[in-house]
Structure formats: structure tokens, C-alpha cells
Amino acid sequence: MIDNKGLSAFVAVIQQRNFEKAAQQLFITQSAVSQRLKLLEEQLGQTLLIRTPEIAPTRAGQALLKYAQNLQQLEHALQHELEPRREQSWVQLSIGTNADTLATWLPRALAPWCQQHKVLLQLHVDDQDQTHHLLHSGEVMGCISSLDKPANGCVSTPMGSIEYHCVASPDFHRHYFSGDISAEQFKKAPVVCFNPKDALQHQYLKTYFQLDADQLSRHQVPSSEGFLEWIRLGMGWGMAPKAQVKQLLLNGELTELTPGKTVTVPLYWHQWRVSSGLTDALRTHILAYTGG
């Protein structure tokens, strides 16, 4: 039988990535958090945390984290089944998503669902081809990813795609590009990237101009809204979702550099194979919303 106090301490430390903040979350002292974790590791005979260079679950910790999230959801379902008329308590659910999905349709899709099921949503944001690492580590129970192949113990389901367009401000367009746009012009024009893992610009330039994006000068703006604003201000060109730039293109604040030359990124919903009714309901809702 796993000690509940130790399990709560372990989950809090993983969520907060900090012992002091975990103690504040649980309303106990930092030394009490450490003691509960020590007793839990002794009980299980496993080291659960990597403490340096940053806090992360070990392989055993990843398995325990998945257990903790499933246990919480099962308890929530049991409470509803035993006392259907009683007002249900909120349950926490963690999922991984890419920033562009979060900046466009995901809040509208999930807000009514979270209200209906009394879910406190914990969103972890990473690049669309990196979110599956969060699922593998046990930090999230499901994720939106551009990778179709599921990790061991997981399943994936197609859920549509995002179409990206190459955009810039009109002034930037006039300054750096003229006539038929060429690879040579892109070599002189700064590009805006989301983060070092953002490969959209690489894919676009390789596909249409046989150019390596690593050769370009770049800005790095790790915010979907900030990324687009930096482009709108004339600081560089970048790849942005159609849904996010449609109005800016219509009102002339942005221009499309190469109409018809887009990058389409397929998206997949990944979740653990061993799931609960709540996680299955979430998958059904997301797929229905996106037409997947």
C-alpha cells in the first residue's frame, strides 16, 4: 500500500519543481516534504527523484507519477458513482500542447468541458514534436503532438492539422523582398523562431528554396502572441498558423510572402493506453471538436 502523504509530497515536488513551493502547496514544512519522500522511497525501494541539475522523476518516479494521476481520476469517478447527487470536487488533469494550438482553438474547446467535468487543467507547453516527452515522463496524461507513432504504453489518434503561412509586415516585405522571392533574399532577411526546437522555418526553406535555416540571422521569441507581434512590428518573417494570422492579413498588418507555399503539420492526440473514463471523455471531446 503506497503511503498517501508520501505520494502527495512526491507529486507536489514534481509539479512545482521546487521543495519549498511543494511545502507551501501542501501547507507543511520543507523538511516534512523531504521526510515524506524519503519514507516513500524506502517503502518502494526505489529512488524517485533526480535532484540536479533540475528536479525530474526517475524511471520509477515516472511510473509512480502515472499511477498518481490515474488514482486521482479513479477516486473522482468513484465519488461520483457512489454519491451522484453530491456536488463533485474538482479534479486535476495535466496535458501537453504546442503554443500555437493554445493560442488558437484549445481554450475554446476545453473551457466548457472542464466546467462540465469539474477539471482543473494543468497545461504544459512545448514544441509540437516535443510534447510526447512530457507524456513519457508521466508529467501529463495526454498530449497534442505532431508525431504519429505512440510511445510504449500509449496510443495515438489523428486529430487534424495546422496550416502555417510565411508572413511578414508590409514594410519588412518591401525592404527585404522584391520580384520573385528567392533563396538569396531569405539569406539577408532575419527570421523569427519560437525556440531552438522550432523546425517550421527549416521545413519551409528546405521544401521550397533548398535552403538551410541555420544559415540565417534569427530572433527567438518563445511566446505565440509575442512571436506574431514581433513579426507584425517588422522585425522578421516567420511561419504562423492560418487561424492566427487571417485577420491580420485581411486588414493589411501582415502580408504573405509566398502565397500557396505553406507547411501543413498533422496533429495527433496521445494518451496512456491504461486510461480512465475522464481521460477517454477528454479524448472524445477533443476529437469531436477538431473533426479527428
Overall average pLDDT of the 206-220 stretch: 91
**Residue-wise pLDDT tens digits, 241-258:** 988 999 999 999 999 999
pLDDT tier at 130 (50, 70, 90 boundaries)?
A: confident
Residue 34 sits at the vertex; the CA angle it makes with 29 and 39, to the nearest 5 degrees, is 125
The CATH superfamily holding the domain 162-265 is Periplasmic binding protein-like II (3.40.190.10)
Torsion sign across C-alpha atoms 143, 147, 149, 151: negative
Do 251 and 226 touch, CB atoms closer than 8 A? no
Do 146 and 259 touch, CB atoms closer than 8 A? no
The pLDDT of residue 268 is: 94
Share of the chain above pLDDT 70, in %: 96
The conformation of residue 237, written as its DSSP 8-state character, comes to B
Q: In 3-state terms, what secondary structure has residue 272?
A: strand
The pLDDT of residue 43 is: 87
The pLDDT of residue 144 is: 93
Overall average pLDDT of the 5-12 stretch: 87
Overall average pLDDT of the 57-76 stretch: 80
Q: Does the structure show a pLDDT above 90 at 108?
A: yes
The conformation of residue 50, written as its DSSP 8-state character, comes to E
Instruction: Output the pTM of the full model.
Output: 0.74
The pLDDT of residue 260 is: 94
d(CA 259, CA 3): 59
**Residue-wise pLDDT tens digits, 96-106:** 998 889 988 99
The pLDDT of residue 56 is: 83
The pLDDT of residue 86 is: 66
